[in-house]
Each structure stands twice: as structure tokens, then as C-alpha cells.
Amino acid sequence: MKHFFIICSVLLALFSSQLSAQQSPVIATQTQAQLQQLTNNKLRQSLVLLQSIASREGVNMLPLYQSLLDGQLYFIKSDTKLIKVVKEAGKKHYSELFTDREITAPAKKAIKKIRVNNKIRIYLRKQIANLKLTANNPQVRQDAVQSLLRDLTPTTIANIAQLRLNEKNIEVQQMMDLALTLDSAIHGKLAVTQVSAIAQLQGNLEPQVRNTLNALNTEQSHPSVQKAAQQALLSIEQSIQFYGYLDQLFFGLSLGSVLLLAAIGLAITFGMMGVINMAHGEMIMIGAYTTYVVQLLMPNLIEYSLWVAIPLAFVVSGSIGILIERCVIRFLHGRPLETLLATFGISLILQQLVRSIFSPLNRQVASPEWMSGSWEINPVFSLTLNRLYILAFALLVFLALLFILKKTSLGLYVRAVSQNRAMAKAMGIRTARVDAITFGLGSGIAGIAGVALSQLTNVGPNLGQAYIIDSFMVVVFGGVGNLLGTLVAAFSLGIANKILEPTTGAVLASIIILVFIILFIQKRPKGLFPQKGRAAE
């Protein structure tokens, strides 16, 4: 979809530059008058006007349709002249609609946008697709045919059949053939033609194919046609079901990656240090707010903002974590209940602090272009990019943390202190300092998780609360003090949740999971992967 837009706009730019080279196109006077009427801003009339214009004009109206669809069409109030306003990297460019000549920027109040609604948008898309059947770029032609599949009128079919004769590109040919086959499946004069057309549609996952077959699978069609449609549908349904399972698996992995990100910091502060840290969620929140502030400071570089935000969030959350450890937690060592209450209090303080600084309203964190949209593998199976990146990111963070703990001297100290504080101290490790650094590390990673979560959910003062229970659940289920357990627990809970959800609904699914964990903990109080040996004491 995204590529389609990019190509469209590139093509449009080419088109308009050609047009401007030939100076302004010839437009019939009647069309001129109707273009003026568009500025009346009456939505009901607009569609009629556009239809009338389209019946007379051809490809020269493409700039009109495209800018209208993109919400870039404005007019100057004083002389109802149509202009195009393109926003690019925070700057607005004003140009004449058909010639694309730049004009001096008019005052903000002197121009008005020409609004469209869904009905008009649907119509515009259809018109643009029709006009683009003859575009130079094969990808554009293919997309145009594909978007026309939904609405195959006899004129469109005749047009496509004509163009098919001279089409050279194989992919466009296939798409055109599909359109023609669909048409003969519905309108074929003989049942035999219909049946053979249906046979060709077998295994095709385009939603339009399924709809057509569904429509043919009724009593009204010829018995042989109905039977063929039934068969074809069956094979299609089977592959849809298969991709449905893959979908579920991906959703589960993705939810798991979010749980992993949220819990991994806690796996250190709670898992390794044994601090019941109720303010963990707020560390995530601070990371998310760091992303917001970074974007605020570099509004024109949203694409790169996350790369700045990730280290910065680590530093900010990490230092706040160290501060909390130094000022509060270290005095409560070995008193879990008091730690719980104190950190809960800290979490409330941090929330209200954010409310006072940033207002209680949610803040807008933009997603970079490369993170929106989806990777379409086939018409029924696509992976959303933001989830895919976050899945990869979660694994990366996990591996990095594993490396720090297992391969660096800091990791050695951390493990030593968490296993036997007194002995570590006796060996000359400065336990107080290691405590602070460990807590900072856990908090910093929570901050990084906040950067990732800012791409998925609301950035508001309550962000952390939503994840604190899940985080504890994952850590306890995986086995306190075991990073690998956290990984396995996060993904198994995520997948289990997503398998349950379609049948039970989201509310019941989370209840079932929670009950399961309670029962599981009864049976195995130390989680999936309990600490073994002397470290367990």
C-alpha cells in the first residue's frame, strides 16, 4: 500500500513536470466552470460534479483527483482559483493545480481546503486506477488493475481486454488475466466457460476471488458451476486457515516480545536483586516520555529520533533508577514488604510528577515512516512492520543483556552479589556499588522498553501501570532470577493468550491465563526454571 502511494506520487510528479513543460493543458470551458463549483464545498454536489468532469476529460484531470484524494487541494477565497498545497518536511509548498508552477505563499486565512468524504475518496481511487491502466511504470499498472478487481464494470473489462493485447510485463499480464477470468466466471455465457474460469481461480487468495466464488456458490447458478465454485472455495479456505494459524503465531510472538521487553528489566531488579520494584512500570513510562521529548527537540528528523531516544532513555531511566536505589531502596534491604510500599509510593510520585510537567493528557509520539504499514507476503498474510521490528528489538536487547551478565566483569559481580552477598563482599566486591549499578541497569532497560512501547500504545502517565502486573507475571512464571526463564515465559504467555483470544475474547483470555499461572505457581512455586544448587538459597 505504502509503495503504491510512493510510486503514485513519483508518477504524479513526472506527469505534472511533463505538463508544465507543455504549459497549461487545454481544459474545456464547461469543465472550468465545474472546477469553480467544486469550491462551494458542498459534499453532495462534489461527487456529481466530479462524475460529470470525468465523463468529459481524461488523463489531464489526474492532478485534480490525486490532490483531492491526498487532501492537498485548496482554493484561494478571493478568486476561487484551485491550488495545491504540499507539506514536505514541515514546510508548505504552494503551486498551481494543473501547471504545477510555484506561487507565492498566500495568507493562511485566504485559502480554504476542498474537503472530501469516503464516497468521493472511493470514486477518486477508482478514477485514478482507471487512468493509470496506461501508466509507464508496470508496478503502477499492476496496482491499478488490482484495485479495479473490486468493481469490474463492462467498460473496465473491455478496456483491460484491449490493453492486455499489448501488455509486455508478465506480472501485469497475470493481474489482467485474473480480472478477465473473474469476469468470465461471473458473466460467462455458457456454464462450461464459467467452470473453466473457476478452475483457473483455484488457489488464488485475492479476497475478490473468494467473494466472487461465494456469490457463485448459490442455487441460482448452474449446478456444475456451483459445484466448481464449492471446490475452489474449499481449497482457498484451507490455505486461509493455514495462514490464519501463522497469523496467530506471529501475534503471539509479538505480544510475547512486548511482555519480554516490559519484564526483562524487572527480571534484573526483582529477579536478581530481589527488590519488589513497583516503580518498574514508571521506568518504562519515563523511557516513553524521553522518546516524546526527543521528537519534540528534533521535529524534522522523526526518522532518526528512535536511534537517539534508545540510548537517551537508557541513561535517563537508569539514572533515576540509581537515584531511587541510593536514596530509598538501599535502606530497606531485606525488608520486602517495606520495599514494596516504598516503591509503590515512588511510582505514584513519578506519575503525578509527569502529570504536572507534561499534563495528564496523552502525548503524541510519531512513528517513523519505516515502522508503519505492513509487509504483505500474500493477500491473506501480512506482518505489520512495527511489530516485526519490536520483536527483533526485544530479542536483541535480551541477547545484549545476556552478554553483559555472562561475559563481562560487571556481570560477574552482579551474579556474585545476587548469589551470595556476604561472600562477594568478603572477596572485595563493593556490593553497595554493584547494587546501584544493577538497579540502574534494570531501570535503564525498562527505559529502552518504553521507547519500543511508545510505538505501540499511548504515551501517558498511566503507561507503566498497564505493564507492571504483566511484568511480574512473566518473571514469576519464568522463575525468579533466571533470564532464560523470562524469555520462555514471555513468549509462551503471549502465544497462549493469542491462541485463546479468538475463541474466548480478550477479557476471558487474560483471566484464564492468570488463573493458570496461579495454579502453576501452587504446583511449582519457583516457576518454570527454578534456580538450582546453592544459589537458590
Partner 1 sequence: MKIKHLISTLALSVSCAISVGAIAADTIKVGVLHSLSGTMAISETTLKDTVLMLIEEQNKKGGLLGKQLEAVVVDPASNWPLFAEKTRELLTQEKVDVIFGSWTSVSRKSVLPVIEELNGLMFYPVQYEGEESSKNIFYTGAAPNQQAIPAVDYLMNDLDVKRWVLAGTDYVYPRTTNKILLAYLKSKGVSDADIMINYTPFGHSDWQSIVSEIKKFGGEGKKTAVVSTINGDANVPFYKELGNQGVSAEDIPVIAFSVGEEELSGIDTTPLVGHLAAWNYFQSVESNENEAFIATWKAFIGDDKRVTNDPMEATYIGFNMWAQAVTKANTTDVDAVEQAMLGQTTPNLTGGIAKMNNNHHLSKPVLIGEIQDDGQFEVVWSTDSVVAGDAWSDFLPGSKDLIADWSSKTKCGNYNTVTKVCSGQK
How far, in Å, CA of 462 to CA of 450, rounded?
A: 12
Contact indicator for 81, 90 with CB cutoff of 8 Å? no
In degrees, to the nearest 5, what angle opens at C-alpha 153 toward C-alphas 147 and 158? 95
Contact pattern from residue 337 through residue 356 relative to partner 1, giving x for each residue in contact according to CB under 8 A and a dash for the rest:
--------------xx--x-
Q: How far is the CB of 40 from partner 1 (least distance, A)?
A: 15
Residue 121 lies near partner 1 (rule: CB under 8 A): yes
Which three cell numbers, joined as nine digits, stand for 433? 556499588
- Using CB under 8 A as the binding rule, whether residue 215 contacts partner 1 is answered as yes
To partner 1, the closest distance from the beta carbon of 430 in angstroms equals 32
| Residue 89 near partner 1 by CB under 8 A | no
Using CB under 8 A as the binding rule, whether residue 258 contacts partner 1 is answered as yes
Among 22, 55, 118, 300, binds partner 1 (CB under 8 A): 118
Range 443-472, binding partner 1 (CB under 8 A): 456-462, 466
- The yes or no reply on residue 507 touching partner 1 (CB under 8 A) is yes
Kindly tell me which residue out of 171, 502, 519, 524 binds partner 1, with binding defined by CB under 8 A: 502
Report which of 205, 267, 207 is spatially closest to residue 449, judged by C-alpha positions.
267
Q: Is 210 in the site for partner 1 (CB under 8 A)?
A: yes
Quick one: cell of 172? Answer: 501485469
User: Which region among 231-239, 309-317, 358-366, 408-416 touches partner 1 (by CB under 8 A)?
Assistant: 358-366
Q: Is 115 left (phi over 0), alpha (psi -120 to 50) or beta?
A: beta
Q: Pick the binder of partner 1 from 6, 361, 518, 535 (CB under 8 A).
A: 361
Tell me the three-class secondary structure of 248-277, residue by residue. HHHHHHHHHHHHHHHHHHHHHHHHHCCCCC
Restricted to residues 169-208, the positions that interact with partner 1 (CB under 8 A) are: 207
Angle value at C-alpha 62, between 61 and 67, nearest 5 degrees = 105
The interface mask with partner 1, positions 305-344, x = CB under 8 A, is ----------------------------------------
**Rounded Cα–Cα distance for residues 105 and 94 (Å):** 6
Binding of partner 1 by 378 (CB under 8 A) = no
Using the contact rule CB under 8 A, the part of the chain among 26-34, 47-55, 249-257, 319-327 near partner 1 is 249-257
Contacts (CB under 8 A) with partner 1, residues 43-62 = 43
Q: How far is the CB of 418 from partner 1 (least distance, A)?
A: 32
Instruction: Count other Cβ atoms within 10 Å, centred on residue 514.
Output: 12
Q: Are 269 and 277 in contact (CB under 8 A)?
A: yes
Find the farthest-apart pair of alpha carbons in the chain and give their distance in angstroms, rounded: 95
Distance CA 477, CA 271 (A): 11
Q: Could you say whether residue 221 binds partner 1 (CB under 8 A)?
A: no
Q: Does 514 bind partner 1 (CB under 8 A)?
A: no
Q: Which stretch binds partner 1 (CB under 8 A): 115-123, 325-333, 443-451, 482-490?
A: 115-123
Angle between helices 431-453 and 302-327 (to 10 degrees): 150
d(CA 133, CA 474): 53
Give whichever of 25 and 71 is closer to partner 1, judged by the CB atom: 71
- Per the CB < 8 A criterion, the answer to whether 264 and 449 are in contact is yes
> Using CB under 8 A as the criterion, which residues of the chain lie in contact with partner 1 when the complex forms?
1, 43, 71, 115, 117-119, 121-122, 125, 207, 210-211, 214-215, 244, 247-248, 251, 254-255, 258, 351-352, 355, 359-364, 366-367, 372-374, 376, 382, 384-387, 456-462, 466, 498, 501-502, 505-507, 510
